[in-house]
């Protein structure tokens, strides 16, 4: 294969769907990179914002006396002040982020769609954009989570792929949004199994120079290694190849080290299932056990995540993703020592109240993702009759049920 390439005449248009704490942070770093790589990307990054009205307090640096206390549109504030005052306050955003309240307008002509919003919204979002995206658009899901019913488990990026008929990879790692927004150093992992037709060399650059989907559709392997029933429209040859190099250029920053892998399953499962383990660690620590016990729980949890991957994604799972990547052990450690599910499960045990109570009093009714993940995954494991292979997961489920006490965790795991 010759590596000589035709000079691309077009650039990738990148958009971010979602503008919470994490969505805005990712938009920030991506917008810094589109500006830094004018050869690869259009400079402006559209960011879809669920429109709401915000009243700026008088002591805000963005307070405008001529507007006064009149509530303003969040998109208007972001585009004028370059700050997401509601979800990522006090962080200056690059001026090439364009907040857009229209989902359809945001995704129009975009070749790279970055999904970053609470996972319960993804179904609705995909339905709304399905007929408005480019046929050769590609996705990166920053959404941690899996969709589990008693019958089936589906990765978020699989769901996006299937419902939109495009290829979608996943980003996950030992990441805390506000720290990254403050440009404190950390690492992440992007899993992307580049579809063959998206890499352009001179030969197929010529053969594949259409932007209207006229290029030959290509088969691709889905996350489970199956040839997808949907064929894929290749990225046209007049764009830069959409491969690991381009994605790294889009996400890597001096404060955000990106490692590229192909194992979409490993990265997605690690990001979703670690929340079950984080709950367990919060329980154990809240009960007064020390770091060595908590570490033992983390180790057991990691082994169960890998058992899960081997059992339900045997064709494509790569164990080394869990061991070596930020999306594996890295994310596990951070989630079990500094993140949300751990913090509030610890608090629940320390105060002797239920997690539902904590959600009410501390989280203003917001839900802890680890709880639904535990419920769904354990229901699925019971339906499959394999729960005995997952003692830690099942213990967390039974603690949530109130049928097991936290102090029984080591006893149940000691075998």
73 has catalytic annotation: no
Question: What is the C-alpha to C-alpha distance for residues 230 and 208, in angstroms, rounded to an integer?
Answer: 19
DSSP state of 326: I
Q: Which of the residues 392 through 411 are near its own copies (CB under 8 A)?
A: 410-411
Q: Report strand pairing: 167-172 vs 186-191.
A: antiparallel
List the beta bridge partners of residue 12.
Answer: 41
Q: Please report whether residue 323 would count as binding its own copies according to CB under 8 A.
A: yes
Which of 62/299 has CB closer to its own copies?
A: 299
**Which residue from 31, 146, 176, 250 is in contact with its own copies, where contact means CB under 8 A?**
176
**Which residue from 303, 350, 367, 408 is in contact with its own copies, where contact means CB under 8 A?**
303
Question: What is the C-alpha to C-alpha distance for residues 261 and 164, in angstroms, rounded to an integer?
Answer: 23
Residues in the chain, total: 415
Q: Which of 11, 13, 28, 274 does the annotation list as catalytic?
A: 274
**Which residue from 214, 291, 363, 412 is in contact with its own copies, where contact means CB under 8 A?**
291
Q: Which of the residues 326 through 365 are near its own copies (CB under 8 A)?
A: 326, 329-330, 333-334, 337-338
Which of 134/247 has CB closer to its own copies?
A: 247
Question: Residue 234 in 3-state DSSP?
Answer: coil
173 is in an annotated binding site: no
- How many residues make contact with its own copies (CB under 8 A)? 38
**Per-residue contact string for residues 269-288; x = within reach of its own copies by CB under 8 A:** --------------------
Q: Please report whether residue 245 would count as binding its own copies according to CB under 8 A.
A: no
Burial 152-172, CB ≥16 within 10 A → b, else e = ebebbbbbbbbbbbbbbbbbb
Which of 262/295 has CB closer to its own copies?
A: 295
Q: How far is the CB of 293 from its own copies (least distance, A)?
A: 5
Q: Please report whether residue 220 would count as binding its own copies according to CB under 8 A.
A: no
Ranges of beta strands (E only) in 90-204 are 97-100, 112-115, 138-141, 146-148, 153-155, 167-172, 186-191
DSSP state of 135: T
CB 199 within 8 A of CB 205: no
398 is in an annotated binding site: no
The counts of H helices and E strands in the chain are: 17, 12
215 is in an annotated binding site: no
Q: Which residues, at least 6 apart from 308, have a Cβ–Cβ distance to it below 8 Å?
A: 269, 273, 377, 390
Binding segment toward its own copies, per CB under 8 A, in 65-73, 176-184, 354-362, 398-406: 176-184
Which of 182/361 has CB closer to its own copies?
A: 182
What is the enclosing helix (H) or strand (E) of 48? strand 45-48
**Which residue from 322, 344, 390, 393 is in contact with its own copies, where contact means CB under 8 A?**
322
Question: What is the C-alpha to C-alpha distance for residues 119 and 102, in angstroms, rounded to an integer?
Answer: 19
Annotated binding residues for NAD(+): 18-23, 121, 177, 340, 367, 369
User: Given the rule CB under 8 A, which residues bind its own copies?
Assistant: 174-176, 179, 184-187, 254-255, 257, 289-293, 295-296, 298-299, 302-303, 319, 322-326, 329-330, 333-334, 337-338, 410-411, 413-414
- Active-site residue set: 274
């Amino acid at each position: 294969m010759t590596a000589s390439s035709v000079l691309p005449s077009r650039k990738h248009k990148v958009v971010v769907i979602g503008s919470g704490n994490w969505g805005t942070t990712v938009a920030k770093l991506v917008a810094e990179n589109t500006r830094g790589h004018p050869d690869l990307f259009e400079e402006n990054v559209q960011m879809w914002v669920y429109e709401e009205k915000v009243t700026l307090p008088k002591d805000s640096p963005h307070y405008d006396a001529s507007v006064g206390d009149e509530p303003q549109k969040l998109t208007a504030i972001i585009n004028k002040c370059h700050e997401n005052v509601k979800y990522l306050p006090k962080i200056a955003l690059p001026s090439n982020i364009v907040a857009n309240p229209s989902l359809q307008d945001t995704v129009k002509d975009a070749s790279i769609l970055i999904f970053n919003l609470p996972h319960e919204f993804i179904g609705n979002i995909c339905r709304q954009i399905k007929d408005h995206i480019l046929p050769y658009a590609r996705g990166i899901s920053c959404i941690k989570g899996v969709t589990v019913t008693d019958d089936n488990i589906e990765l978020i990026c699989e769901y996006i792929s299937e419902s939109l008929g495009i290829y979608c990879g996943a980003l996950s790692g030992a990441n805390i949004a506000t720290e990254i927004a403050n440009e404190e150093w950390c690492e992440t992992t992007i899993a992307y199994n580049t579809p063959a037709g998206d890499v352009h060399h001179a030969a197929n650059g010529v053969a594949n120079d259409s932007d209207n989907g006229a290029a030959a559709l290509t088969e691709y392997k889905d996350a489970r290694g199956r040839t997808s029933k949907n064929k894929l429209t290749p990225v046209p040859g007049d764009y830069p190849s959409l491969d690991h190099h381009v994605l790294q250029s889009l996400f890597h920053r001096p404060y955000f080290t990106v490692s590229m892998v192909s194992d979409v399953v490993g990265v997605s499962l690690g990001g979703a299932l670690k929340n079950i383990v984080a709950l367990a660690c919060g329980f154990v620590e809240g009960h007064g056990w020390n770091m060595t016990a908590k570490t033992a729980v983390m180790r057991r949890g990691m082994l169960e995540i890998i058992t899960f991957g081997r059992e339900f994604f045997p064709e494509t799972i790569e164990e080394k993703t869990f061991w070596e990547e930020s999306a594996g052990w890295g994310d596990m450690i951070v989630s079990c020592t500094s993140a949300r599910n751990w913090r509030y499960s610890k608090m629940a045990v320390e105060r002797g109240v239920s997690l539902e109570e904590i959600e009410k009093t501390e989280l203003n009714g917001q839900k802890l993702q680890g709880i639904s993940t535990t419920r769904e995954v354990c229901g699925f494991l019971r339906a499959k009759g394999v729960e005995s292979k997952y003692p830690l997961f099942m213990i967390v489920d039974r603690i949530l049920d109130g049928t097991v006490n936290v102090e029984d965790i080591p006893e149940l795991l000691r075998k």
